[in-house]
Amino acid sequence: MVLGAIRRLTGRSTESSARGGEGRDMSESEWRFFSDFDVYLWKQGSHYRSWEKMGAHPCRMGGVDGVHFAVWAPNAERVSVVGDFNGWDETAHPLECFGDTGIWKGFIPGIGVGTLYKYAITSRLHGYKVQKADPYAFYSEKRPGTASIVWDISGYQWQDGPWMKSRKTVNLRSAPVAIYEVHLGSWMRVPDEDNRWLTYRELAPRLAAYVREMGFTHVELLPVTEHPFDARGATRPRATSPRQAASALLRTSCFSSTRFTSTASG
Confidence at residue 12, expressed as pLDDT on a 0 to 100 scale: 36
Confidence at residue 56, expressed as pLDDT on a 0 to 100 scale: 96
Give the span between the Cα atoms of 15 and 4, in whole angstroms. Answer: 10
> Among 52, 111, 45, 58, which Cα is nearest to 82's?
111
User: Residue 86 contacts by C-beta under 8 Å, 6 or more apart in sequence?
Assistant: 92, 93
**Cα–Cα separations (whole angstroms), residue 35 to 3, 10, 39, 41:** 11, 12, 6, 10
φ/ψ of residue 131, rounded to 5: -110, 125
Confidence at residue 206, expressed as pLDDT on a 0 to 100 scale: 95
Confidence at residue 211, expressed as pLDDT on a 0 to 100 scale: 95
Torsion sign, CA atoms 33, 60, 16, 87: positive
For the chain, 266 residues long, give each residue's pLDDT as a single digit of tens: 433 443 343 333 333 333 333 333 334 334 567 888 888 999 999 999 999 999 999 998 888 999 999 999 999 999 999 999 999 999 999 999 988 899 999 999 999 999 999 999 999 999 899 999 999 999 999 888 999 999 998 888 888 899 888 887 776 777 888 999 998 888 888 999 998 888 889 999 999 999 999 999 889 988 776 665 665 554 443 333 444 344 433 433 333 443 333 333 33
Give the span between the Cα atoms of 226 and 78, in whole angstroms. Answer: 25
The helix/strand/coil state of 248 is helix
- CA 145, 117, 9: angle at the middle one, nearest 5? 140
The helix/strand/coil state of 100 is coil
Please measure the distance between the N-terminal and C-terminal CA atoms of the chain and give it in whole angstroms: 62
pTM above 0.75, yes or no: no
Domains of the chain, start order: 2-149 (2.60.40.10), 171-252 (no CATH)
